[in-house]
Amino acid sequence: MSTENKQFTISIYTENNIGLLNRISAIFQRRHINIESLNTSPSEIDGVSRFTIVVNITESQMKKIQGQIEKQVEVIKAFYHTEEEIIYQESCIFKMRSNLLFDERQIQNIIKESNARIVTVNRDFFVIEKSGRKEEIDLLHRELTVFGIMQFTRSGRIAVTKDEMKISSMLKALQH
């Protein structure tokens, strides 16, 4: 098994419980592993939440972490995947001064070419939203930085797997 760090996207199906985020993040913290991004949301199954966590660790570490996550009473199942096994998106929002739209014509080209979208424009500022892969967002960020960004924020990764995750059938089997 590779001893090199790789990027893993972890999908965790859980019961919706107040303390669970704490419990799951503690698993990483205790082992001194940095969480690159974390997102929680409802899942495709009613009443089941889904965590999407991105970390850079070795596969052997990843397997152990998966075990520790699944050990938590309110975790239904945890999966981990490499980049190639998933379709993922991140989202980001830029707030910029409105005068740039008129003074710096290439901004409009950047927005068009990067498939970003203007969410709102008013007299003082306008807001650009962009969803995509990490590199695309990085590129857009680099291109816009030169004009001065008033605010920037970026979401955690969300991902679906190319192959099926046998969670629904598993849940049915678990149903008491």
Partner 1 sequence: MKETQTIQNKAESTATTERISGSEAVIKCLLAEGVETLYGYPGGAIMPVYDELYKYQDQIHHVLTRHEQGATHSAQGYARISGKVGVCMATSGPGATNLITGIADAQIDSTPMVCITGQVGSHLLGSDAFQETDIVGISTPVTKWNCQVTKASQIPEAFAKAFFIARSGRPGPVLIDITKDAQFEEFDFTYQKCKGIRSYKPVPDTDENALKAAAELINAAKKPLVVWGQGVILGKAEEEFKAVIEKAGIPSAWTILGASAIPTAHPLNVGMVGMHGNYAPNVLTNECDVLIAIGMRFDDRVTGNLDTYAKQAKIIHFEIDPAEIDKNVKTDIAVLGNAKTSLKRLLPLVNKNSHNDWHQEFKNLYEIEFEKVIKHDLHPTKEGLTMAEVLKEINIQTKGDAAIVSDVGQHQMIACRYAEFNKTKSNITSGGLGTMGFALPAAIGAKMAAPDREVVMIAGDGGYQMTIQELGTIFQQKVPVKIVVLNNEFLGMVRQWQQLFFDKRYASTEMTNPDFIAIAKGYSIEAKKVTERKDLKTAIKDMIDCEGPYFLEVRVEKEDNVFPMIPTGASVSDIRLE
Positions in the binding site for partner 1 (CB under 8 A): 14-15, 18-19, 22-23, 26, 30, 63-64, 67-68, 70-71, 73-76, 171, 174-176
> Cβ of residue 19: shortest distance to partner 1, in angstroms?
6
Tell me, what DSSP letter sits at residue 101?
H
Name the residue nearer to partner 1 (CB basis): 102 or 174: 174
Angle at the Cα of 44 (from 42 to 45), degrees rounded to 5? 85
> Of 18, 19, 50, 21, nearest to 35 (Cα)?
21
Name the residue nearer to partner 1 (CB basis): 9 or 72: 72
Name the residue nearer to partner 1 (CB basis): 73 or 163: 73
> Cβ of residue 64: shortest distance to partner 1, in angstroms?
6
> Cβ of residue 27: shortest distance to partner 1, in angstroms?
9
CB contact set of 84 (below 8 Å; sequence gap of 6+): none
Name the residue nearer to partner 1 (CB basis): 164 or 174: 174
- Complete edge-to-edge strand list for the sheet that includes strand 6-15: 35-42, 48-57, 6-15, 75-82
Q: Classify the C-alpha dihedral 111-117-119-120 as positive or negative.
A: positive
> Cβ of residue 88: shortest distance to partner 1, in angstroms?
25
